[in-house]
Structures are given as C-alpha cells and as structure tokens.
Structure 1
Amino acid sequence: MPATAYSVDVRRMETFSAAELYALLKLRVDVFVVEQACPYPELDGKDADALHLRLLIDGETAAYARIWRPENGAPRIGRVLVSPDHRGKRLGAALMREAIRACETHFPGTPIELSAQSYLQQFYHSLGFSPTSEEYVEDGIPHIDMRRAGAGVAQRA
C-alpha cells in the first residue's frame, strides 16, 4: 500500500486561529482522554512553549505530534497521534520521521526523547530510539522512556 500524500505544518501555538487550535485540542482530547479512557489533564501548560507538528490531508489534521524542550533538557516528542479518520494510511512512521526532522532542524545535534506506550517500543526502536528506563505505568497505561541520538551525537549504550 503506498503512503498517503500529506503536507507538513510545524508552528507555535500562537499562530493558530481559534478554530484551528480548538480542532487540534479537541482531537487530542478525543484520542488521549476519551478513546484511551485516561482522565488526565490533557491541557498541561506546555503547549505555548512547544512546536506543533501536523500532517494535513485536504486541510484536515490527519496526524499530530508535539515537540517540547524542557528547560536544560533534550527535546521531547509527545502527544503522538493519528486521527481515527486517517488510521490505516501508514501515517504513524511518516509523522515520526517528520517530528525527528523538526527536532534536528530546531535543536541540531541534540538527542531526542519520548515516553512511549510500551506496546510501541519496537516501532520507536525502528526509528532509532532506545529504551532508557524500565517500564512504568502512567495514567493507567504501561510506558517506557526512550532516546534517540541527535545528528552527530553518539548513541549511549
């Protein structure tokens, strides 16, 4: 099955219109809170300091990831999702490749971190991420921390 054609949009929160931001946050709540049945504070105060990466198909958000850099830390990719309306179109790997590219552009030479749902560990490993923690439970879902060396940065064993 060929990959679906999409456009990439990477920007900061303040550049979204009210309608665009509403649609994006609604999608995140629909997936992370409702679909995954995880009552947690989805609006965590980090969006204003983050880059928001969207894969768009016909102007609609088909996949999304948030890139956030904690103070004095490695950039983190999080809130990774493919819209229920666009699943099965091979967008997950495309989204992550674009997120890695955005990290390398905005934070060159730095490693990239993420907190992966444990069942996706092999998927993230295929993209160059290695575990950095034991499995832990967050919001009722098993997770594992993972890290990918930045361009020009040696991977830790």
Structure 2
Amino acid sequence: MALDDSIGISRALLRDLDPVTLYRIMALRTDVFVHEQRIVDERELDDRDLETTTTLYWADDRDGRVLATLRVLRDDPAAAHLGRVATARDARGRGVAAALIRAALADVAGPVEISAQAYLEGWYRRFGFETTGPGYVEAGIDHIPMRHDGERAPADR
C-alpha cells in the first residue's frame, strides 16, 4: 500500500528534533499507550529517547500532525531494538505504520528485535520478523519476542 503524498516520513535523534514535533510524538505515544491501552505501570518517558544512539521515526501530514511513530534503540551491538510503535486511531489501516517499519529496517544494519504486542505477531511477520521465544505479559499486555535478521527485504504490502 503506497502512502498518500500528503504524508511524510522523517527520522532524527532527539537532539535534532524541533520541540513542536517532539511534543506531538510524545502526545501520540501518551494517547495510544496511556489513554487507549491503559498502560500505567510503566513510564512512557523512560529516558531511552535521550540516549545518543536512539533514533525517532515519525509520519506526519501536511499540517505537521504526527500520525505514527516508533523508535530504534542501539544499546546492543548484536541487534537494534524497535519499540514504542504507535499509530493514531484515525491513521490505522492506511499503511502509515508499515511505511515507518520499512524505513527503520532500511536504515538499520543487522538484526532488529521487537517486543511485539502478541495480537500484532502476524503483522510483523509481513516485514520478515520471526518469533524467537514464548509469549509473556508486559504492562498487562500479551507480548511476543521477535527478530528480523536484517537480510531479507521487508515485504511491500
């Protein structure tokens, strides 16, 4: 699914982000994880965004509204970690998050791991992620560990 021309994909380290965009990214993550999914036993602002190796990705429209976001952590030399994948409710099903996943996978050399919410396991498989272990509960939500080997091209769906 091709993205609408009015949607842009961007990436930046925290130090290079303008404050308005950062605010919009954090507001979306709060809307999805805290208000929608009711995750309250874990800090949304966990200091990981401050790390010099963390890259934030986001998709926005012409008005600058952040429609989806994710982050890539590089604290493990063996693999990057993709996380905090969030999409605005009214942007779901439009290929926005898929475009962000593809952009992150294209940028990262080597394997990428994710602690995926279990109901999205099939969706992540579309991009070449494979389940690497048993499911577990994190923040009250079923998760599954997954890994992309960094060699297969992400699916274009």
Per the TM superposition, whether the score is higher than 0.5 is yes
TM-score by length of 1: 0.86
Partners in 2 of 1:80 and 1:16 — Cα distance? 18
Q: Which moved more, 1:1-10 or 1:139-148?
A: 1-10
- Name stretches of at least 5 consecutive residues in structure 2 with no aligned partner: 153-157
How big is the alpha-carbon RMSD for the aligned residues of Structure 1 and Structure 2?
1.7
Question: Corresponding residue for 1:101?
Answer: 106
Question: Match of 1:46?
Answer: 48
What's the CA shift for 1:81?
1.3
- The letter of the residue matching 1:15 is D
Q: How many residues align?
A: 147
Over 3 Å counting, the alpha-carbon distance change for 1:23 and 1:92 in structure 2 is closer
The alpha carbon displacement at 1:72 in A equals 3.1
SS at match of 1:43: coil
Q: What's the TM-score once normalised by structure 2's chain length?
A: 0.86
Give the 3-state SS of the residue equivalent to 1:151 in structure 2. coil
Moved over 4 A (4+): none
Match of 1:114 in 2: 114
Question: What's the counterpart of residue 78 of structure 1?
Answer: 83
Which blocks of at least 5 consecutive residues in structure 1 are unaligned? Answer: 153-157
Superposed, which structure 2 residues align to 1:1-150 within 5 Å? 3-5=3-5, 6-39=7-40, 40-49=42-51, 50-58=54-62, 59-103=64-108, 108=109, 110-150=110-150
Contact preservation (8 Å) 1:4, 1:91:
no
Stretch moving more, 79-88 or 128-137: 79-88
Given the superposition, is the C-alpha separation of residues 146 and 33 from structure 1 closer, same or farther in structure 2, using an over 3 Å criterion?
same
Displacement after TM superposition at 1:2 (Å): 5.7
